[in-house]
Amino acid sequence: MGRRIGTPSAEEWSRPRVVVDRRTRRHRKREERRLRRAARNPSVLLKELKTIPNILTLGRIVIIPFFIWLTYKADPLSSFLAAVLFTVAAVTDVIDGVLARRLNMVTVLGKFLDPLADKLIVMAAMVMLVRLGRVAAWAVIVLLAREFLVTGLRTIAASEGMVIAAGQEGKWKTSLQLTGIIALCVHYTHPLDLIFWTVPVNYNAVGQVLLYVSIFFSVWSAVGYFRAFGQMLSKSRGGAHGAQGA
């Protein structure tokens, strides 16, 4: 018996139900995936990111654009605020290292982010200081080249299982360099109020002297790194040859 014209067939009647079933299955799958993600433990990197030392390190990276903006404005107030921001970054660098060691929060992410944050803000400061004519370009080139060379050397040493400790000259380099950058950021002459008298201080001249002195310690420490690496490499090769001979 034929069906009337205009009357839906059994297949047509079943189509809406099929569509509803497919939508329901897709919705259930999405819900199951959402529940699995919610029940999944956070990744190791996410846990490391939430530690106090790494939060401080991220804070140093976040303030870099504000530091650049203040340095770019170059008026006395902005220059002073840029110096304050750089000082805060230098102090938090010390604090997060102390906290990481004392609270046993030394992490893989922290070992990557901490030197990265230091180099980013120092490079930003030096580039801006060259642009403003507060320091010679050759001095910045020497200091940045030293950083890249030493970083590459320590990476190669680490791949060989060697650890090159920082010497005292490297610590002097860091102290003089950071203090010099802070003084160069201030730039202008400001009165220094002592107990019995007030002395006008040209912070740009003070910063230049400190930065140029840091170049000497920078080159000296780089030579010490390469010498230490060469000695470690010769000892490891000598030990390997001795083992083969035995």
Domain locations along the chain: 45-132, 136-238
Helix axes 168-186, 76-102, angle to 10 degrees: 150
Q: Which two tokens stand for residue 199?
A: 């002395």
If pLDDT is split at 50, 70 and 90, which confidence band does 208 have? very high
Give me the count of residues in the chain. 246
Question: What does pLDDT average to over the chain?
Answer: 82
Average pLDDT over residues 60-86: 94
pTM here?
0.75
Q: Is 43 a residue whose pLDDT tops 70?
A: no
Which pLDDT does position 45 carry in this prediction? 67
Average pLDDT over residues 205-216: 94
Residue with tokens 């990476």: 155
Write a three-state SS string for 3-46: CCCCCCCHHHHHHHHHHHHHHHHHHHHHHHHHHHHHHCCCCHHH
Query: Cα–Cα distances in Å, from 176 out to 76, 165, 214?
Result: 23, 19, 5
If pLDDT is split at 50, 70 and 90, which confidence band does 195 have? confident
If pLDDT is split at 50, 70 and 90, which confidence band does 133 have? very high
Asked if residues 70 and 79 have their Cβ atoms less than 8 Å apart, the reply is yes
Average pLDDT over residues 24-49: 69
